[in-house]
Structure 1
Amino acid sequence: MNLSQKDWWSQFLADPNGVILDVRTEEENAAKKIPGSLNIDIYKGQGFVYLVDELDKTKNYYVYCLAGGRSAQACSIMNQLGFENTYNLIGGISEWEGPTE
């Protein structure tokens, strides 16, 4: 599900079962990230699928990338793997106005 920045962040903050997932490269993640996010690079292809498939499917995943394209793709892959609740950040971190580290 695609969510605006405001809805994505407020829903995450109110979600005790929420996990933030950054699907950018390690270099992108090192430069700027949302605090507490887990980083799994979608460009790793099958490696991404293996790593994501090991995550807890009962949690709710708030997924972001640079602009929203890779994270939308990641949400689709995760849904196919059996994740029920994935939320794509529209605009990605390039439009993010929340906290970063």
Structure 2
Amino acid sequence: MDLHQEEWWDKAQQDTNAVILDVRTEDEFSRGIIPGALNIDIYKGQGFIDAVDALDKSKSYYVYCAAGVRSGQACAIMGRLGFEKTHNLAGGFSQWKGPVAMP
């Protein structure tokens, strides 16, 4: 489900089961992240699928990338792997106006 950033961030903050997942490259990740984000690079292909499949499927995942396209793909892959609660950040990190941290 695509959410605009205010709703995405509000839900992530209120959700006690939330995991913020950054699917950008390590280089992108190193330049700034949404606080608390876990990084699994979607470009790793099967490595991404294996890493995501090992995550706790009972949690809610708030997924983002640079523009919202890769994270949308990640949400679709996660859905096929049995994740029921994935939320894509519409517009991605490039349009993010919320808090930013360094990893």
Q: CA RMSD in A?
A: 0.4
How many Å separate the matches in 1 of 2:7 and 2:64? 13
What TM-score, normalized to structure 1?
A: 0.99
Residue 96 of structure 2 corresponds to residue 88 of structure 1: no
User: 2: CA distance between counterparts of 1:36 and 1:7?
Assistant: 17
Partner in structure 2 of residue 26 of structure 1: 26
Whole-Å separation in 2 of the counterparts to 1:51 and 1:59: 15
Secondary structure, counterpart of 1:62 in structure 2: strand
User: For structure 1, which runs of at least 5 residues remain unmatched after alignment?
Assistant: none
User: Using the alignment, how far apart are the partners of 2:47 and 2:17 within structure 1?
Assistant: 25
1:50 aligns with 2:42: no
Deviation at 1:58, TM superposition (A): 0.2
Aligned to 1:17: 17
Q: Secondary structure at the match of 1:70?
A: helix
Q: Which contiguous aligned blocks of 4+ residues in structure 1 show a shift greater than 6 angstroms?
A: none
1:28-69: CA deviation from partner (whole Å, max 9, x where unpaired): 000011111000000000000000000000000000000000
